Structure formats: structure tokens, C-alpha cells
């Protein structure tokens, strides 16, 4: 692509930075030694979850809003989003005295609807899917003569997102790799444009959830199924951006597809090791390091923690699931004689072995168990898998038959 055909250039991204610099946070870009040990790379994290709306989307949304004419400001703006773009447009539009209307699918979690409305936006719930909500936004925008603020297929939005790469490379010009979450492609198109202009040999790696491989498939020129309930709903986009696709095709070195287990592990690692909140999409870069470690090992890697808006219930579930994967929480089933003192003896034995009992289910009516027996399900906490096996061995040494169960 020549500069005439590109949606953004380095100069345009620099202009965006100057325009928004006093109104969005220059977020910290910090080393993460504990992630170094986990991945075998030298990791630096860009904490975009510290923006007011807890996501990078403020950069592009604000840059676009600042380009509006006086007449466009008077008319108001409309955006379609189920999450971070909605909050970014709402927050900065109200702050600038522009009336925002946000169309969200009726399936949007209440917490996100409330947050968007809380910034002062008029929220319209319409459509079961993001695609249906987009059609509603186009209709309402036309009926009410509102200016549409696209979440990614807009040059000003792309330029605003590209300011991230300027900040990262100014602070760490020796970066070898930048890993960037990919939905419609606005973030990676802007960042790749800036990064490759400043440092042509840097590798820019995109990350998509395997459930929504839209950009990956579009770059390869193939059809791919996209759909399902992913932890990374912020990048669950079914169609790659029209403006962003050519940029990604030219400048992005590769796109990694990650599984849900990689995303869960990455969210948990940010919380437990870095003591920070990451939503599924925000943790996608780290998830790629788990999915394709050879792409990153031994290199200086910049990760964009692009957002931290995660449902606390989902976060709690992820933490418990990771403890189970690490065998720090283990579920076992025992067939025991139904007589007084047996349960007490078992719990004492587990305690003496250093285990902590979290849950007990004592059943007597299971047909596979003899009439004078009972089935005992115990969920317990151990230091690790080796310790769990020591506890099970101690139970078996006392004559109890123990069966390992899934704790998830």
C-alpha cells in the first residue's frame, strides 16, 4: 500500500497523539519479571486497563470526536458496541458537551449497560447480536441525523489507537515483538503502522480467539466459522474491518489463534502475578505466549493489556478453574463404611497430611454403594499435584478406596 491508500500514516498517528495527550492517560509500560519466568521471554506490559473506562478504546474514540465540526457536535453522535467502545464514546462525548447515543444488543450484561449509561449516554437496547445492533444504530443514526462513530473502521479511530505503539517504542526502543489483540483490527492496524515505521524489523503479532478467527481467515483468503461464547468477547468480531484488513495483511507478521484455556490462564496470571485486572481480550497477548511460546522465547516482548472490564463472577470462576488445573484444588470420591466416626477419621487424616477441606458431600442412597456403605465426595486444597497425591496415598494406606474426580 502507498501512503495515499493507507487509512493512517505515522504523521497522522503523531498528530492524534498531540490531540489526545492531555485528555487520556499515558499509561505505564512496565517490566514484568514474574511473567518473564513464566514465559521465557523479557516481558513488558502496557497497562491500558488504567484508563478512566479501563480500556484502550478511549484513544481512538476521543481522536474521532475531536475531528467533529461544530454542526456535527450539535447533532450528536451514535455508536454501536457491547462494551469498551461504548463506554469510551459515552465518557468523552459527554465530557466534550456532545450528546451520545449508544446502541447495545439486548444480551449485553447489565453491568456494561449501567456503566455506559452512568457516563451520561442514552442507551438503546436493540437486537440479539452485535450485527443486529449495528443495523439498529445505522437506522437510528439516519433517522436522527447523528454522526456514527465506528469502533474500528475509521481512520481517526485507527490513528488514535496507534498512539499506543509510539509510547511503547519511545520507552522501550529495543523491543523485538509486540503482541496485540485483534477484533475488527483498529488497534493492530494503528499500532503496526506506527511500529513498522519507527522500527521496520520489529515483529507485530496479532492475537485472535480461535472461536472468532475472522482476521486470520481474511488474511489467508479463506472462509472460517466464527461464533460461540468466548471469554474474549471484546475481540469476538465475525467480519474483519474493510480499512484495517489491507494494513494487517501488509504489516502484521503473523496472527496467533488462542484457545479458551490460554485466555483463562492469562487472565489468572495477570491477577495473581501482576496484581491487575485483565478481561479476556485484554489478556490475549499473554495468552498467545502460552499458545505459541517459540514465537516469543528469548525476546523482548511488549504486551498490550488492552482492557480490564471483566465480570467479577467470571473472574472468580477462572481463578477456581486455574487452581484445579494446577491441582491445588482436588476432588476425590471415597466408598466408605457407614458407621459412626468414619467421616471424622477421614477429615482428621486429611488435615494431618496438610490438606484443607473445602467441601464435603455425604451420600447414602447411591445404588452402586452397599446398603451399609456410603459415598463421600470431598473437595480439598493442596499445595500442588504432588501434595495431593500424598494425601490420596495416606487415605489409601488406611484402606479407603479413592477415586479422583474433576474439580471443574
Mean pLDDT in each 10-residue stretch from start to end of the chain (408 residues)?
Answer: 76 98 97 97 98 96 98 96 91 97 86 88 89 90 96 96 98 98 96 98 97 95 88 89 96 97 96 96 97 97 95 89 89 85 90 93 61 79 92 90 75
State the Cα torsion 99-137-64-88 to the nearest 10°. Answer: 70
Q: What is the rounded distance in angstroms from the CA atom of residue 39 to the CA atom of residue 165?
A: 22
Measured CA angle at 286 (ends 221, 304), to 5 deg:
85
User: Which positions ≥6 away from 345 have C-beta within 8 Å?
Assistant: 398
Q: What is the rounded distance in angstroms from the CA atom of residue 274 to the CA atom of residue 33?
A: 9
Pick from 227, 196, 274, 367: nearest CA to 38: 274
Domain ranges for the chain: 10-56+159-319, 77-145, 328-404
CATH 3.40.50.720 assigned to domain 77-145? The reply is no
Q: Do domains 10-56+159-319 and 77-145 have the same CATH topology?
A: yes
User: Which positions ≥6 away from 348 have C-beta within 8 Å?
Assistant: none
- Cell matching residue 293: 511460546
User: What does the pLDDT read at residue 111?
Assistant: 74
Strands 373-381 and 329-337: antiparallel
User: What does the pLDDT read at residue 372?
Assistant: 55
User: What does the pLDDT read at residue 267?
Assistant: 97
User: What does the pLDDT read at residue 4?
Assistant: 57
H or E element at residue 386: helix 385-397
User: What does the pLDDT read at residue 366?
Assistant: 53
Measured CA angle at 97 (ends 95, 99), to 5 deg:
105
Question: Under CATH, which number does the domain 10-56+159-319 receive?
Answer: 3.40.50.1100
Return the residue matching grid coordinates 451520561. Answer: 120
CB contact at 8 A, 58 and 88: yes
Return the residue matching grid coordinates 514465559. Answer: 39
Pick from 189, 284, 179, 180: nearest CA to 230: 284
User: What does the pLDDT read at residue 113?
Assistant: 87
Residue 286: how many other CB atoms lie within 10 Å? 33
User: What does the pLDDT read at residue 294?
Assistant: 97
User: What does the pLDDT read at residue 343?
Assistant: 87
SS3 content of the chain, % helix, strand, coil (to 5): 45, 20, 35
Give me the architecture of the 328-404 domain, per CATH.
Answer: 2-Layer Sandwich (3.30)
Amino acid at each position: 500500500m502507498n501512503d495515499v491508500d493507507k487509512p493512517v500514516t505515522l504523521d497522522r498517528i503523531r498528530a492524534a497523539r498531540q490531540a489526545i495527550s492531555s485528555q487520556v492517560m499515558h499509561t505505564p509500560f512496565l517490566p514484568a519479571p514474574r511473567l518473564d519466568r513464566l514465559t521465557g521471554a523479557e516481558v513488558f506490559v502496557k497497562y491500558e486497563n488504567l484508563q478512566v473506562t479501563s480500556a484502550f478504546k478511549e484513544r481512538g474514540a476521543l481522536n474521532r470526536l475531536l475531528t467533529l465540526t461544530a454542526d456535527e457536535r450539535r447533532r450528536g453522535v451514535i455508536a454501536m458496541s457491547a462494551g469498551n467502545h461504548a463506554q469510551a464514546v459515552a465518557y468523552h462525548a459527554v465530557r466534550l458537551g456532545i450528546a451520545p447515543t449508544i446502541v447495545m444488543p439486548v444480551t449485553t450484561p447489565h453491568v456494561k449497560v449501567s456503566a455506559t449509561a452512568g457516563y451520561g449516554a442514552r442507551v438503546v437496547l436493540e437486537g440479539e447480536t452485535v450485527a443486529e445492533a449495528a443495523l439498529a444504530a445505522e437506522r437510528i443514526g439516519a433517522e436522527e441525523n447523528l454522526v456514527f462513530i465506528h469502533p474500528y473502521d475509521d481512520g481517526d479511530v485507527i490513528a488514535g489507537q496507534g498512539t499506543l505503539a509510539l509510547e511503547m517504542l519511545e520507552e522501550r526502543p529495543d523491543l523485538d515483538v509486540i503482541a496485540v489483540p485483534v477484533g475488527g483490527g483498529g488497534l493492530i492496524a494503528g499500532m503496526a503502522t506506527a511500529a513498522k515505521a519507527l522500527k521496520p524489523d520489529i515483529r507485530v503479532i496479532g492475537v485472535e480467539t480461535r472461536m472468532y478467527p475472522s482476521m486470520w481467515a481474511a488474511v489467508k483468503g479463506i472462509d472460517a466459522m466464527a461464533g460461540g461464547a468466548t471469554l474474549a468477547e471484546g475481540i469476538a468480531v465475525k467480519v474483519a474491518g474493510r480499512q484495517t484488513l489491507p494494513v494487517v495483511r501488509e504489516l502484521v507478521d503473523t496472527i496467533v489463534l488462542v484457545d479458551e484455556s490460554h485466555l483463562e490462564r492469562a487472565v489468572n496470571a495477570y491477577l495473581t502475578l501482576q496484581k491487575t485486572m485483565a478481561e479476556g481480550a485484554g489478556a490475549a497477548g499473554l495468552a498467545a505466549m502460552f499458545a505459541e511460546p517459540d514465537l516469543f522465547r528469548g525476546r523482548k516482548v511488549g504486551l498490550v493489556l488492552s482492557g480490564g472490564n471483566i465480570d467479577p463472577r467470571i473472574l472468580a470462576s477462572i481463578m477456581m478453574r486455574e487452581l484445579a488445573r494446577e491441582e491445588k484444588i482436588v476432588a476425590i470420591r471415597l466408598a466408605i463404611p457407614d458407621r459412626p466416626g468414619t467421616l471424622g477419621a477421614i477429615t482428621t487424616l486429611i488435615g494431618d497430611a496438610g490438606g484443607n477441606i473445602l467441601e464435603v458431600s455425604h451420600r447414602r442412597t447411591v445404588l452402586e454403594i452397599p446398603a451399609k456403605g456410603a459415598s463421600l465426595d470431598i473437595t480439598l486444597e493442596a499445595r500442588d499435584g504432588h501434595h495431593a497425591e500424598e494425601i490420596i496415598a495416606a487415605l489409601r494406606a488406611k484402606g479407603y478406596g479413592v477415586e479422583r474426580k474433576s474439580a471443574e
